[in-house]
Amino acid sequence: MTDEFTTQVYYEDDVDESYLEDTTVAVLGYGSQGHAHALNMQESGIDVRVGLREDSSSRAAAEEEGLEVGTPAEVAQVAEVISVLVPDTVQSAVYEEIEPHLEDGDTLQFAHGLNIHYNQIQPPEHVDVTMVAPKSPGHLVRRNYENDQGTPGLLAVYQDTTGEATERGLAYAKAIGCARAGVLETTFQEEVETDLFGEQVVLCGGVTSLVKAGYETLVDAGYSPEAAYFECMNELKLIVDLMYEGGLSEMWDSVSDTAEYGGLTRGDRVIDDNARENMEEILEEVQSGEFAGEWIAENQVGRPKYTQIRQAEKDHEIEEVGERLRGLFAWADEQEEKPAEAPA
């Protein structure tokens, strides 16, 4: 443990892996996170079962890796730790199938707190409820583990019946490789609210709207779509890479003085007080549960709005221009590994 941070951070030396000895872990789902948790734990010497529907196309893939597969109910019955890694929107339905198999002292484990925090899943009092959430897409969680590296993760305890929930969560985090990089203590509330806010305002929503607005402003002013694409979308990767490696300072140091002066004097005019007020409003919708309610209702009626806005985004002119231009430098794909999928 270290107290250089405002929050508790655990590393491998802080973990007692005996908390998962003689324990069977059921991983429900074999998607992005599911395959990574199951395979990493299997290699860490843990008895893992994978829970999938009878007709799941992922069954063959899991079995090919030597994993034992059953239905969610079957694997929940034999396991003491049940890790819920099916998509957030189907978790409450899958939970119905496994609830009868939750025994005293079992652990219900998540990688995102949405369904617990917004009461879509209400676990019984006789189980521990934990979250180990790697801060990266599942494919990187797997690749890092294979390369003897780790993926930073979050640990939260929602319900601690056994008095050992933290220790068990840490043992789980170590088994999937997170403790190699650091496990930060948080709460279900903080994880959910910051995750939703971040993806809506900055990572997914904010950045795409910024790119589209910049692109449209240039094209509407008569500049070529190609020039607009390069300036507003393509170069973004180079800027983000610099920030990822060395923070804002490394980015500012690497661009020209002209870019630095222009950016520092103009950035706050784009993200102005009005934009900040909108951010606060979006945060309130997250905190109040208004966003979660909207998303749950949208799923209940078959996702009509989601389907429509998703298509409109695919049809945006910048997508067509980008596809043509990226074809010209297809070599970029070969030199650089494709990024794994986006924040979840």
Pick out the residues of the known binding site: 30-33, 53, 56, 58, 138, 195, 199, 231, 235, 256
Helices (H), 135-272: 138-146, 165-175, 188-197, 205-220, 225-229, 236-254, 257-270
Residues placed in the known binding site for substrate: 256
Binding mask 180-209 for ligand NAD (x = CB under 6 A): ------------------------------
Q: Which of Mg ion, ligand NAD, none has residue 50 at its interface (CB below 5 to 8 Å by kind)?
A: none
Helix 32-43 vs helix 138-146: crossing angle, to nearest 10: 20
Is residue 243 near ligand NAD by the rule CB under 6 A?
no
Q: Which of ligand NAD, Mg ion, none has residue 185 at its interface (CB below 5 to 8 Å by kind)?
A: none
Tell me phi and psi for residue 110, to 5 degrees. -125, 165
Tell which one of 15, 67, 75, 86 touches ligand NAD (CB under 6 A).
86
Tell which one of 133, 171, 183, 211 touches ligand NAD (CB under 6 A).
133
Choose among 243, 176, 153: nearest CA to 203: 243
Q: Which of ligand NAD, Mg ion, none has residue 29 at its interface (CB below 5 to 8 Å by kind)?
A: ligand NAD
DSSP label of 121: S
Is residue 20 near ligand NAD by the rule CB under 6 A?
no
Where do we find the tokens 């007709």? 55
CB atoms inside a 10 Å sphere around CB 145? 23
Residue 37 falls in the annotated catalytic set: no
- Dist CA 177 CA 41 (whole Å): 9
Where do we find the tokens 């900055």? 202
The residue among 80 and 191 lying less far from ligand NAD, judged by its C-beta, is 191
Residues placed in the known binding site for NADP(+): 30-33, 53, 56, 58, 138
Would you say the C-alpha torsion 35, 118, 102, 135 has a positive or negative sign?
A: positive
Tell which one of 53, 101, 212, 316 touches ligand NAD (CB under 6 A).
53
User: CB-based contacts of 76: which residues, under 8 Å, 6+ apart?
Assistant: 26, 28, 51, 82, 97, 98, 101, 102
Q: Give the shortest CB-38-to-ligand NAD separation in angstroms.
A: 11
CB atoms inside a 10 Å sphere around CB 46? 21
Is residue 90 near ligand NAD by the rule CB under 6 A?
yes
Is residue 169 near ligand NAD by the rule CB under 6 A?
no
Stretch that binds ligand NAD, among 30-38, 182-190, 264-272, 274-282 (CB under 6 A): 30-38
Residue 18 is which amino acid? S
CA distances 342 to 35, 138, 205, 286, Å, are: 17, 10, 12, 20
Tell which one of 9, 25, 26, 34 touches ligand NAD (CB under 6 A).
34
Tell which one of 98, 111, 156, 175 touches ligand NAD (CB under 6 A).
111
Tell me phi and psi for residue 158, to 5 degrees. -95, -35
- Active-site residue identified among 112, 117, 126, 316: 112
CA distances 152 to 54, 88, 192, 195, Å, are: 33, 21, 17, 15
Residues placed in the known binding site for Mg(2+): 195, 199, 231, 235
Q: Give the shortest CB-112-to-Mg ion separation in angstroms.
A: 6
The residue among 103 and 313 lying less far from Mg ion, judged by its C-beta, is 103
The residue among 20 and 98 lying less far from ligand NAD, judged by its C-beta, is 98
Is residue 101 near ligand NAD by the rule CB under 6 A?
no
Where do we find the tokens 């063959």? 60
- Give the binding site for Mg ion (CB under 5 A): 101, 103, 195, 344
Q: Which residues are catalytic?
A: 112
For ligand NAD, the binding residues (CB under 6 A) are 29-34, 52-53, 56, 58, 72, 85-88, 90, 94, 111-112, 133-134, 137-138, 344
